[in-house]
Structure 1
Amino acid sequence: MYAEALQSIALAVAQVRSVDLVLARIVHGLAAQPDVALARLWLIAPGDICGVCPMRAECPDRTRCLHLAASAGGSRESPEEEWARLDGAFRRFPLGVRKVGHIGATGEPILLQSLGGQADWLVRGEWARREGIQSFAGQPLVFRGAVLGVLAVFSRRVLGAQEFSWLRTFADHAAVALANARAFEEVARLRGQLELERDYLREEVKDALSFGELVGRSAALQRVLQQLEPVAATTASVLILGESGVGKELIARAIHEHGPRRERPLIRVNCASIPRELFESEFFGHVKGAFTGALRDRAGRFQAADGGTLFLDEVGEIPLELQGKLLRVLQEGTFERVGEDVTRKVDVRIVAATNRDLKAEVAAGRFREDLYYRLSVFPIEVPPLRQRREDIPLLAEHFLRRLSAKLKLPTPRLTLAHVQALQRYDWPGNVRELENVLERAVILSRGGRLRLEGALPEAGATRERKVATPVPGAPFLTEKEWRQREQENLRAALAAAGGKVYGPGGAAELLGLAPTTLASRLRALGIRHEKS
């Protein structure tokens, strides 16, 4: 090995930012030198294969060891032998054991200039004699006082002190390049994590803004809100139950924002939208090449939510055969990316939501009982809008202001007639449907009087009256009495509107009728009114 050659390798190594490329260029660059039979590099990492490691009997401490990370070289006698493999008998070295472990534990280099007289240092003496190995040089990779690993060279000629000194300098450069590559990869990982959180948060903000805030004063809603404060302050799993459109995601967001993890991300997963074959990738992530289309490493939702909250929306839609994989990470807090054997640990709070009756699903064998109990530590049931009709005026005002600003139109006035019409409707789509109806009404109004006709489903608006059951003994009106009551009602509306039928503030608007319909009724009943 010559100084110029080592300097050239060091320059090539310094130009890459990937740890794998740094390691490969180090060993391949050394192995390409004359008389170098084998170059290997081990890195210190946590113990991982202790149960099957060939050196487990010699290992004094299984928390850390040396992992073979790169290898290059070729046999002089048997060219077909593969010396680049990383899964051989020496893929792990306990710290302090044998020459490589000794270098890793002490940080002291070792040079054996004549292996023939050092038989006690050789495990496979026959291999060394067959390949003509004359010297072993081992250098620690040290960066800022910490040993990162060990660089070893097996040479077919005797290495001198000068070459050993050059290798020491090269090892220092290699350690710096390795540390820099690790830093670059960590920066890239953090950038990817931030970008992932940014994308998820943008999606969440968009969804949240399209739905509105928790609005209402009804007793039914207040009962829900009273449950939020105590559970939000904990890390307990919460299961939010309720029909579609009632605001389960808003409840989840309130739990997160009032809890100890509010500074960390809230990541939402729509379980119903994930294809079966992509379930593991979506939740746990994958590595490049794990499957067709996996063009780069991708972090999963659990990793994105680490330290924060994971909101599992429509959790009842997860296929039964995939529920066990979710249960494992909830129980143990660990998972593996698709295509990777590294076990990762996460700390995630789980908030789940469903419009299904999970108890019935468990009884029917469609949902795992153990997963149900893991999720439903603290269940919260959100009432449908038809059970909190008194909140409709506040919700309608809230949506009208926001939708008008979104559509850049004047905010239309909400009248008593509008409120009554909205409260008569059953709202099978709940708050989400209310928002959609009001958005259609604002568009139809074109900056004028709020027009619910054409926006509010007529069949639904009368459903409640159609299914009402007559109460025995209830008072009723004769036709004459009904006509008299209708006249009184119309005159009262005209008086309140100052005699106006048409236009803003007119009797038609107060009654929630089309002006032409009201005018026709007034003529039929012989009621005079101001021409407007």
Structure 2
Amino acid sequence: MMSLNDYLPVITPDLVLDQPVLGSWQVQAVSERLATSLGRPVDQLRGRKVAAVFPDAVPSLADLATEVVEQGQDLSGIRIQLVPRQADVLADLQVVGLTDDHQGRQVVVILRPLGDVPEAESFHRLVGVSAVMREVFRKVRLYAASDATVIITGETGAGKELVAHALHLESHRRNKPFAALNCTAISEQLLESELFGHERGAFTGAVRDHRGYFERADGGSLFLDELGDMPMSTQSKLLRVLEDGQVVRVGSEVPRKVDVRVIGATNVALEKAVANKEFRADLYHRLAVLRIHLPPLRERAEDIPLLAERFLAQFSHQYGKPARRLTFEAVRLLQSYLWPGNVRELRNVIERVVVESETEAIGARAFAEWIRERRQFAADLPVARPAPSSASPLPVALPWSGWVDTPPHASVVPGARGQKKELSEEVIRRAYAAADGNLSAAARRLGIHRATLYRHLQRLGLKRGELYLD
């Protein structure tokens, strides 16, 4: 196993924390950059207790380091204020190795300014580090240079309007209007008036001239959401506007020239709608020049921690709540859910737990009531993928990726919680094999700290290379 020092030439840590005595974290190393921001020379910081160097850190840096060691997992995306009245910084806590004695008591801390978000993570309010989201970003940049119509496909709540707005902001039309209209939000009778406008007296209640969305978006972009549900009569008029670039208001015969890039979105398959004669084939071919598919949240679970962090920061500020971070268990729980409501549902859930929370760290238990509500509808929702290897200890059900009623280690080691366990060689071998040779994962399955597992190995005279079952 690589030790901590094996990693230090590769990265430039801001802090290296050492725990010579259980529960007592000290600063072992500190970067010049961080020392300068603290107004202290490096030599005055080395060897001092973390609580003395950062007494007002929110959340506690020592507590975060302890969580890294106890969970045997990296922490990232944690918003932490090290010094009062100093700009927030985003802390990435990472265990990049263990000390030579494998006791897991050193942690590397890497900091970067809050708001200094890599472009790969945030793009015009779109958030994601997954490969599928990076492909969305790539297509947005590529298609923004064109004025061709674009169709954005994706499930409800996935963020199709954000993609449309990103296309507009990346284009040469960015300084012109961006208008958005949901084609199912208004009645069929009023849709044409909203799109194309109407003249005074065109119908009962038309007491003045009205500029439609095409005129309001002149020079810019018009986003038509739920395009697949547009009435056939309106589809024919939309086709005419797309072909000649002119709109005729309801009650008028005078065409008005408009320069608008149309971006459509749908959560239904337009090809199927065309086959069912519910959507005009000629309009489909006119619209579907370029296409961007926005994947559902369940297909990009690696983006969930980053999205949850953004929403947590947003609502903590909005409601004046102390919540600053989600625990490891809470994040894993969110990643095990299939999110039929996509990003919109995640946003609503985070808002709910922030409003209900009175602590800095939101744990998995904060989602218990939400879980019970989801269970009530479980029979009507699909299961899409198997349970993750490190599932939440909370009892959850469909639409989670599997039933999880106990911690993963419960079936491996008998005995009441907190009871001292004398693990047998066979039990350790089974856990190691089930964890695919990952000692940290094996320790979690056994319900013990990683350092405790090493002590058991030493007691039994076992080496890591000898752990696989014959």
On whether the aligned pair clears a TM of 0.5, the verdict is yes
Equivalent-residue separation in structure 1 for 2:272 and 2:231 (angstroms): 15
Whichever residue aligns with residue 220 of structure 1, its letter is: V
CA separation of 1:441 and 1:370: change in aligned 2, threshold 3 A: same
Q: Confirm whether residue 463 of structure 1 aligns to residue 398 of structure 2.
A: yes
Structure with larger RCO (C-alpha < 8 A, sep 6+): 2
Match of 1:516 in 2: none
Whichever residue aligns with residue 452 of structure 1, its letter is: F
What SS class does the counterpart of residue 455 from structure 1 fall into? helix
Match of 2:369 in 1: 454
CA separation of 1:487 and 1:356: change in aligned 2, threshold 3 A: closer
Match of 1:401 in 2: 313
1:56-67 map, 5 Å = none
Q: 2:125 aligns with which of 202, 209, 213?
A: 213
Question: In proportion to residue count, which structure has more helix?
Answer: 1
Match of 2:333 in 1: 421
Q: Confirm whether residue 331 of structure 1 aligns to residue 246 of structure 2.
A: no
What SS class does the counterpart of residue 295 from structure 1 fall into? coil
What SS class does the counterpart of residue 426 from structure 1 fall into? coil
CA separation of 1:478 and 1:341: change in aligned 2, threshold 3 A: closer
Q: 1:345 aligns with which of 231, 250, 257?
A: 257
Match of 1:282 in 2: 194
Equivalent-residue separation in structure 1 for 2:286 and 2:299 (angstroms): 29
Whichever residue aligns with residue 287 of structure 2, its letter is: L
1:51-130 map, 5 Å = none
Whichever residue aligns with residue 255 of structure 2, its letter is: T
Tell me if the contact between 1:385 and 1:430 (Cα under 8 Å) persists in the aligned partners.
yes
Equivalent-residue separation in structure 1 for 2:293 and 2:155 (angstroms): 9
Q: 2:214 aligns with which of 302, 311, 314?
A: 302
Equivalent-residue separation in structure 2 for 1:478 and 1:493 (angstroms): 16
Tell me if the contact between 1:238 and 1:378 (Cα under 8 Å) persists in the aligned partners.
yes
Q: Confirm whether residue 370 of structure 1 aligns to residue 305 of structure 2.
A: no
Whichever residue aligns with residue 193 of structure 2, its letter is: S
Deviation readout 1:381-402 (Å, 9 max, x if unpaired):
0100000000101111111001
Whichever residue aligns with residue 413 of structure 1, its letter is: R
Match of 2:458 in 1: none
Tell me if the contact between 1:215 and 1:394 (Cα under 8 Å) persists in the aligned partners.
yes
Q: Confirm whether residue 391 of structure 1 aligns to residue 299 of structure 2.
A: no
CA separation of 1:333 and 1:482: change in aligned 2, threshold 3 A: farther
CA separation of 1:233 and 1:462: change in aligned 2, threshold 3 A: same
Deviation readout 1:201-220 (Å, 9 max, x if unpaired):
xxxxxxxxxxx921110011
Tell me if the contact between 1:286 and 1:340 (Cα under 8 Å) persists in the aligned partners.
yes
CA separation of 1:487 and 1:264: change in aligned 2, threshold 3 A: closer
Match of 2:96 in 1: none
What SS class does the counterpart of residue 286 from structure 1 fall into? coil
> Which 5+ residue runs of structure 1 have no aligned equivalent?
1-211, 469-475, 496-532
Equivalent-residue separation in structure 2 for 1:323 and 1:373 (angstroms): 12
Q: Once the 2 structures are TM-superposed, how far is the Cα of residue 223 of structure 1 from its aligned partner? A: 1.2
Q: Once the 2 structures are TM-superposed, how far is the Cα of residue 298 of structure 1 from its aligned partner? A: 1.0
Q: Once the 2 structures are TM-superposed, how far is the Cα of residue 446 of structure 1 from its aligned partner? A: 3.2
Tell me if the contact between 1:412 and 1:442 (Cα under 8 Å) persists in the aligned partners.
no
Higher gyration radius (CA): 1
Q: Once the 2 structures are TM-superposed, how far is the Cα of residue 458 of structure 1 from its aligned partner? A: 4.6
Match of 2:449 in 1: 492
Whichever residue aligns with residue 449 of structure 2, its letter is: A
CA separation of 1:417 and 1:339: change in aligned 2, threshold 3 A: same
CA separation of 1:336 and 1:396: change in aligned 2, threshold 3 A: same
Q: Confirm whether residue 236 of structure 1 aligns to residue 193 of structure 2.
A: no
CA separation of 1:465 and 1:341: change in aligned 2, threshold 3 A: closer
What SS class does the counterpart of residue 254 from structure 1 fall into? helix
Equivalent-residue separation in structure 1 for 2:204 and 2:356 (angstroms): 48
TM-score by length of 1: 0.49
What SS class does the counterpart of residue 380 from structure 1 fall into? strand
Tell me if the contact between 1:283 and 1:300 (Cα under 8 Å) persists in the aligned partners.
yes
Match of 1:42 in 2: none
Match of 1:253 in 2: 165
What is the percentage of aligned positions where both structures have the same residue?
A: 45
Equivalent-residue separation in structure 2 for 1:482 and 1:425 (angstroms): 28
What SS class does the counterpart of residue 241 from structure 2 fall into? helix
Q: Once the 2 structures are TM-superposed, how far is the Cα of residue 424 of structure 1 from its aligned partner? A: 0.6
Tell me if the contact between 1:220 and 1:388 (Cα under 8 Å) persists in the aligned partners.
yes
Tell me if the contact between 1:302 and 1:310 (Cα under 8 Å) persists in the aligned partners.
yes
Tell me if the contact between 1:271 and 1:318 (Cα under 8 Å) persists in the aligned partners.
yes
Deviation readout 1:175-199 (Å, 9 max, x if unpaired):
xxxxxxxxxxxxxxxxxxxxxxxxx
Equivalent-residue separation in structure 2 for 1:491 and 1:353 (angstroms): 50
Whichever residue aligns with residue 453 of structure 1, its letter is: A
Q: Once the 2 structures are TM-superposed, how far is the Cα of residue 411 of structure 1 from its aligned partner? A: 2.9
Q: Once the 2 structures are TM-superposed, how far is the Cα of residue 466 of structure 1 from its aligned partner? A: 6.4
Q: CA RMSD in A?
A: 2.7
Whichever residue aligns with residue 223 of structure 1, its letter is: E
Match of 2:94 in 1: none
Tell me if the contact between 1:246 and 1:431 (Cα under 8 Å) persists in the aligned partners.
yes
Q: Which moved more, 1:268-277 or 1:335-344?
A: 335-344
